[in-house]
Amino acid sequence: MSKATGCCQGFLHYVFDYETPKTLVIPHFGVGIVFRFTQLLVVLYVVGYVCVVQKGYQETDSVISTVTTKVKGFAFTNTSDMDPRMWDVADYVLPPQGDKSFFILTNLVVTPEQTQSHCPELPKPSTVCTDDCDCVEGYNDPRGNGIRTGLCENFSTTVKTCEVFSWCPLEVDTKLPKKAVLAAAENFTVLIKNSITYPKFNFHGRNILPHINSSYLANCEFNRLTDPDCPIFRLKRIMAEAGEDFKDMAVKGGILGILIDWSCDLDWWAGKCLPKYSFRRLDSKNPGNDVAPGYNFRFAKFYKRADGTEERTLIKAYGIRFEVIVFGTAGKFGIVPAIVNLGAALSFLSLVPIVADWVMLTCMKKRDLYTKQKVTYLVESPDNEPVSMGTTYGTQ
């Protein structure tokens, strides 16, 4: 036999000889039951919990969505402060575009006919004056409303304050109506159209479900019990679902979240992937540690007078900002998570013999017999008996 052939054969043996552990069969029912039961526990756990409950074999994707909203309704107001007035969507929805976030005006402080001119400041300790010497010309109080002209003027018959250059007359925002001007907005409805995509799974969905027809949509109104699929929501009802009272919230304003949950298991019939609506107030209600509670902002309508000077109507708008928040995670069988989870499960199965061995060699009556036949101690010379446990490490 040549050297090359021998070397080649050695390599073949090295690669293709199959080395398998020698095993000992213990025909003992107790040990067998421990082994099988532990195995069963692991399998149940992995299959039952990881796969069925947690769906560990799925890969996930986050939702991409688009939302349009359309508010309907009008209200008539007739308060002492204002002329009788009819409000429609172009008056009370801001911005008007029907975005996923929209604001409905419910209460307001109007300051009409402001112009760039001079007027006395609102009375505060820092603005009250007795004569012109108290008012430094050009001083710009960060908590005031304009730049001082240096004059001290009558704010009312009893109080004199420093005059400022500003948009005059100044806004007096303490005049906020106690009852929301547009409390009737609770009967407005909003139509929400929502299309979603899970790009990884090429899944598209909309909240107007396929089985719904136009005539139903023309008349329906969302109701969790009777009309859970209708995408038209009455503001009063969704406010109630969020645990709030519309009329209360309308006075100072707030933010209401319309949450649409598109969490889906796409391994099942995709037609079961339906939106779930929920409603939650997003701003903090009445905590002691809040600044500017509620929700309001100022905006102005600008006009030009016949003489060319600019005039504006300043509106401090209180109201409810609705935010349509679309979220969700879709899961679908994925080979990588499946392998990873199955691998982890197999690892646990490899623990089972360790448990069974431990039980067998520790708790069984015949443990010495088992040990003797399972475990061999190294024999120092091929002919010797197994070395005793007394061999010290030092002398080896």
Binding to a copy of itself (CB under 8 A): which residues in 8-67?
9-10, 12-13, 15-29, 31-33, 35-36, 46, 49-50, 54, 56, 62, 64, 66
* Choice from 92, 155, 167, 277 touching a copy of itself (CB under 8 A): 167
Find the shortest distance in angstroms from Cβ 266 to a copy of itself.
Answer: 18
Q: Which residues are annotated as a binding site for ATP?
A: 70-72, 189, 296-298, 316
Residues 172 and 8: their CA atoms lie apart, in Å, by 100
Binding to a copy of itself (CB under 8 A): which residues in 358-387?
360, 369-370, 372-382, 387
Binding to a copy of itself (CB under 8 A): which residues in 74-93?
74, 76, 83-86, 88-91
Q: Which is nearer to a copy of itself, 158 or 202 (CB)?
A: 202
Q: If you ran DSSP here, which 8-state letter would residue 183 be given? A: G
Q: Are 108 and 328 in contact (CB under 8 A)?
A: no
Over the window 321 to 360, marking each residue x when it contacts a copy of itself by CB under 8 A and - when it does not, the resulting string is: x-x-x-x------xxx--xxxxxxxxxx-xx-x--xx--x
Find the shortest distance in angstroms from Cβ 189 to a copy of itself.
Answer: 9
Q: Which residues are annotated as a binding site?
A: 70-72, 189, 296-298, 316
Binding to a copy of itself (CB under 8 A): which residues in 130-159?
140, 142, 145-147
Partners of 61 in beta bridges: 330
Alpha carbon 134 to its chain centroid, in Å, reads 53
Residue for token pair 């209600």: 285
Binding to a copy of itself (CB under 8 A): which residues in 96-135?
96-99, 101, 103, 116
Binding to a copy of itself (CB under 8 A): which residues in 281-310?
282-284, 287-292, 295, 297-304, 306
Phi, psi angle pair for 205, to nearest 5°: -145, 160
Binding to a copy of itself (CB under 8 A): which residues in 186-205?
187, 191, 193, 195, 199
Q: Which is nearer to a copy of itself, 159 or 354 (CB)?
A: 354
Among 238, 222, 252, CA closest to 320: 252
Residues 186 and 176: their CA atoms lie apart, in Å, by 19
Q: Which is nearer to a copy of itself, 159 or 369 (CB)?
A: 369
* Choice from 181, 314, 320, 330 touching a copy of itself (CB under 8 A): 314
DSSP track, 292-342: S-S-EEEEEEEEE-TTS-EEEEEEEEEEEEEEEEEE-EEEEE-HHHHHHHH
Among 221, 230, 223, 283, CA closest to 257: 283
Find the shortest distance in angstroms from Cβ 273 to a copy of itself.
Answer: 16
Find the shortest distance in angstroms from Cβ 1 to a copy of itself.
Answer: 8
Find the shortest distance in angstroms from Cβ 4 to a copy of itself.
Answer: 14
Residues 210 and 219: their CA atoms lie apart, in Å, by 17
Separation in Å, CA 267 to CA 52, 206, 275, 319, 329: 12, 19, 17, 43, 13
Binding to a copy of itself (CB under 8 A): which residues in 263-282?
282
Q: Are 130 and 152 in contact (CB under 8 A)?
A: yes
Q: Which is nearer to a copy of itself, 158 or 381 (CB)?
A: 381
Q: Which is nearer to a copy of itself, 158 or 215 (CB)?
A: 215
Q: Which is nearer to a copy of itself, 125 or 142 (CB)?
A: 142
Question: Does an H or E element contain 224, and which?
Answer: none
Residues in the interface with a copy of itself (CB under 8 A) total 144
Tokens (6 digits) for 225: 């019990």
Q: Which is nearer to a copy of itself, 55 or 247 (CB)?
A: 55
Residues 269 and 60: their CA atoms lie apart, in Å, by 17
Q: Which is nearer to a copy of itself, 158 or 392 (CB)?
A: 392
Find the shortest distance in angstroms from Cβ 248 to a copy of itself.
Answer: 19
Binding flag, residue 391, a copy of itself (CB under 8 A): yes
Contacts of 54 (CB under 8 A, 6+ apart): none
Residues 135 and 196: their CA atoms lie apart, in Å, by 60
Pairing relationship of beta strands 189-198 and 203-206 according to DSSP bridges: antiparallel
Over the window 219 to 258, marking each residue x when it contacts a copy of itself by CB under 8 A and - when it does not, the resulting string is: ------------------------------------x-x-
Residues 342 and 337: their CA atoms lie apart, in Å, by 8
DSSP track, 344-370: HHHHHHTTHHHHHHHHHHHTSTTHHHH
Q: Are 333 and 58 in contact (CB under 8 A)?
A: yes
